[in-house]
Structure 1
Amino acid sequence: MEFVKEEREENKRIKHEEPETRRIKHEKQGEFVEEKEENEESSEIEVKNHFKTGGKPSHCDRRFSHPSLLKRHERIHSGEKPYKCSHCDKRFSHSSSLKKHERIHTGEKPYKCSHCDKRFSVSSNLKMHVRIHTGERPFKCSHCDKRFTQLANMKKHERIHTGEKPYKCSHCDKRFCDSSSLKRHEMIHDGKKIQCSNCEKRFNNSSNLKTHKMIHTGDKLYKCSHCDKRFSQSGNMKIHERVHTGEKPYKCSHCDKRFWNKSNLKTHERIHTGEKPYKCSQCDKRFCDSSSLKKHERIHTGQKPYKCSHCDEIQ
């Protein structure tokens, strides 16, 4: 605990001396840059505290304004992780990373959305979620006019233009532009897939199989917090709960209309784009949604599924 106390006290002192986001002069260029906190979870350590004065690490040329910042940085080189989770064996270089991790165990979600009742364990997730309500898409593709709420989604999209496929299958030479497509593909090679005992569907892990089996068993573990309705999948429960909360997070990019779920938004946007992906198997007529196609095809089949409860008339 002495590590936590020491770092906390030092952080207080630094905070008192300088603003939270400190503007510092770059050693070589003489320009001001933002000093960012080191984060062991990010793929690239963004430490830009390059000073002429202050501590210099023994492993690299970076310089720091305070001994504590130098000490924090040097843990990257030494691999030292003095902060241990009190719930599991995971260790961390920084107390802030430990605090963030421990919320997984405690279930603490201190960051609440100002537009709905949704809560988050980390502020960055709240920031991304709020964009659903505001419609803000700060990340624009450098090749076309498409905009995105998340940087990762923009990068994935840009690979359509560049043709870049950084994810290579470990079993064959096939390459993919995103990790989820690679994962789906690698299941073809994986001979240890678990098959559902009720149907021929196969799964790469037992948890996915368990969720799927609820369709057959009728188990509905997820109960709506507003009414007695139950669901076999948490995703379906979340969509249903929006009926109670009035939350419509999906906004049309062409007009002001908003929707409970993504599929309804997708169907609606086809009115604007003119896209009609559903083609009749009997004629050349096309439709923007599957229900309209189904309704139309009854003209050809003569099917009349709706029977009057008072007489024998079928419509």
Structure 2
Amino acid sequence: MKRIKIKVPATVANMVCGFDILGMAIHEPYDEMEVKLTDSPEIIIKHEDHFGLPEDPSNNVAGVVLQHIQKDLNLTAGFEVTIRKHIKPGSGLGSSAASAAGAAFGANVLLGNILSKQELVHFAMFGEELASGVRHADNIAPCIYGGITLVKSTAPIDIIPLSTPDLFVIAVHPQVEVKTSDARQILKKNILFKDAIEQWGNIAGLVTGILKNDIPLIGRSLNDVIIEPVRSILIPKFGEIKTKSLRLGALGGGISGSGPSIFMLAKKKETAENIAGMMKSVYDDIGIESFVYISKINPVGIEIVEKEY
């Protein structure tokens, strides 16, 4: 195979209480990537978007991933990657993870699917390390596996795909930037033991609710007593949007990744649409442009759009 075109979905990491271990793929927004296998060993990165991301492979998350694949597999071939990003960098919707996971996925297909999904996660995490300084997989895993994933461990890599509840995801992206690296720096280094116990209960409840399709349990478990109280101060109108979403019938929700995007879960489409309208209105009222997405949980993850042999 010479060339592949793929759709790489946005992801919601943490899912409120599962910091760095839980994540889910959604249908919109998504990036478009074209990956070509070339005869020369050079890695070429091209961006067909307006975000001004570096195209030097060593400074580009997709490029770094491909460099590691090339080195570890002793490849004499190279890659040419064209990226059209619709997931804005710094949105909290897994923009860097999409580029990293898409590069690993595309290269693997072109090479004959010689890598397992866990190996794809391993290589894609090098891109996340470049972007945020940490080799985390909470966005990478659902992007590659689809649906909702639990990252039990990254050393060694142990990814557990969970069930996919029939729920609507509402995500609002206010046009302010919160860098993942900055959002990590403000986190507390020590937490109270009672808070840790409460958080463990919420994580266990959320995973159990997902596996048993127990929607009320999912709603009761969407509570974060450690990360959200600190990070929410970086996001305009976070408290108002969360309170109003719950009044409109949301199961719960919180910060998507490191923010500034906020997500909510709902059982019915009408509820999701009402929440989406409220989110847009809240930001319109204070003069902040925002984009709102309504999506089911994406059970597939990265999708192949076109192949060329």
Task: Tell me whether the two structures share a fold, i.e. TM-score over 0.5.
Answer: no
Which structure's residues are more often strand, by fraction?
Answer: 2
**TM-score bucket of the superposed structures, by smaller chain:** under 0.3
Q: TM-score, normalised by structure 2?
A: 0.20
Higher radius of gyration, 1 or 2: 1
Q: TM-score, normalised by structure 1?
A: 0.20
